[in-house]
């Protein structure tokens, strides 16, 4: 099976609360492609990297991620984002460089079983977004992580903030993976459950995954499933949103069981956290480890029927 992933390649620079800095390749294409391989999926990537990708492309090749020559921007650097972790638990994002938009036209939809549409910041145009929504007419699974649609940056200090609303019509998408802040931007609702109901209705979604710092919610039809974890897990860590998005997608496409897919998605990020590794190294390479966690979560998940 094959899944398509659309997003920039990213250089991530993370400064923790002790001001220790780690650097890694990242972005949904990288994290998503590796977890897709763990689920025995091939990937078709729609991406851009800058002229400075250089020898780092060899690291990607070792992970079976291959960037074509026409996906390398000869005039602009790779998108680079610095994440500063604050002692109060908040995080500041700074855009250090930005690659050109993804301008390749998405065709040959019949070559993939599903799509992950997950822009980092403003690299996917309205026209390409509409191509993805049109895919739904062919009954191809499509999931959106809307971060890149609602982020904006201050061109004076390059700080990344959220827009007040999104501009795109995303009707036709199958599923959303979203976090608390993004949900509030799109729906203006106060509670997570009200926001998820509003989002489902707004875009006629089949599935919604919402992650908080140490919990995950899943809305399917009129049932809201929930998993809560202790403070040793931080679901806001870099790359975990990409891992759960693609992990859920691959599991659902293969088994067509939404609840199991949710548990496999959460199992993927918990397995990543338990590895204690950073960057792309934390992505699980063994499905058995994910399956063990997923089976445990399947028996622990709580649910309630929504009005």
Q: What is the pLDDT of residues 74-120, one digit of tens each?
A: 999 999 999 998 877 678 999 999 999 997 655 566 688 999 999 99
User: Best-predicted range by mean pLDDT among 89-93, 124-128, 131-135, 226-230?
Assistant: 226-230
Q: 3-class DSSP state for residue 208?
A: strand
Prediction pTM value: 0.95
Q: 3-class DSSP state for residue 152?
A: strand
Strand runs (DSSP E) across the chain, as ranges?
A: 2-6, 10-15, 21-26, 42-46, 49-50, 72-73, 79-85, 91-97, 114-117, 141-144, 151-153, 159-162, 175-179, 207-211, 215-220, 223-228, 302-305
Strands 151-153 and 159-162: antiparallel
Q: Set out the domains of the chain in order of their start, with CATH numbers.
A: 2-305 (3.40.1190.20)
Average pLDDT, stretch 187-207? 92
14, pLDDT greater than 80: yes
* Cα separation, 283 vs 114, whole angstroms: 21
Q: What is the pLDDT of residues 265-286, one digit of tens each?
A: 999 999 999 999 999 999 999 9
């Amino acid at each position: 099976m094959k899944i398509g992933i659309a997003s920039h390649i990213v250089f991530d620079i993370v400064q923790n609360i002790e001001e220790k800095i780690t650097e890694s390749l990242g972005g949904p294409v990288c994290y998503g492609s590796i977890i897709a391989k763990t689920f025995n999926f091939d990937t078709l990537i729609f991406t851009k990297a800058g002229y400075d990708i250089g020898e780092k492309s060899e690291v990607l090749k070792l992970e079976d991620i291959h960037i074509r020559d026409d996906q390398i921007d000869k005039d602009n650097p790779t998108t680079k984002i610095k994440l500063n972790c604050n002692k109060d638990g908040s995080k500041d994002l700074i855009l250090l460089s930005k690659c050109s938009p993804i301008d390749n036209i998405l065709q040959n939809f019949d070559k993939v079983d599903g799509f992950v549409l997950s822009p980092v910041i403003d690299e996917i145009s309205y026209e390409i977004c509409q191509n993805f929504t049109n895919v739904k007419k062919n009954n191809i699974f499509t999931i959106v992580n809307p971060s890149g649609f609602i982020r904006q940056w201050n061109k004076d200090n390059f700080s990344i903030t959220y827009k007040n609303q999104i501009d795109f019509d995303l009707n036709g998408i199958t599923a959303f993976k979203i976090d608390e802040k993004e949900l509030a931007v799109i729906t203006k609702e106060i509670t997570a459950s009200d926001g998820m109901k509003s989002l489902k209705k707004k875009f006629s979604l089949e599935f919604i995954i919402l992650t908080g710092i140490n919990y995950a919610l899943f809305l399917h039809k009129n049932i809201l499933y929930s998993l809560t974890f202790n403070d040793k897990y931080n679901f806001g860590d870099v790359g975990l949103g990409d891992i759960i998005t693609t992990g859920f997608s691959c599991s659902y496409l293969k088994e067509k069981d939404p609840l199991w897919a949710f548990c496999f998605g959460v199992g993927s990020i918990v397995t990543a956290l338990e590895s204690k590794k950073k960057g792309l190294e934390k992505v699980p390479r063994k499905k058995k480890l994910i399956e063990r966690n997923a089976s445990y979560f399947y028996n622990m998940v709580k649910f309630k029927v929504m009005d």
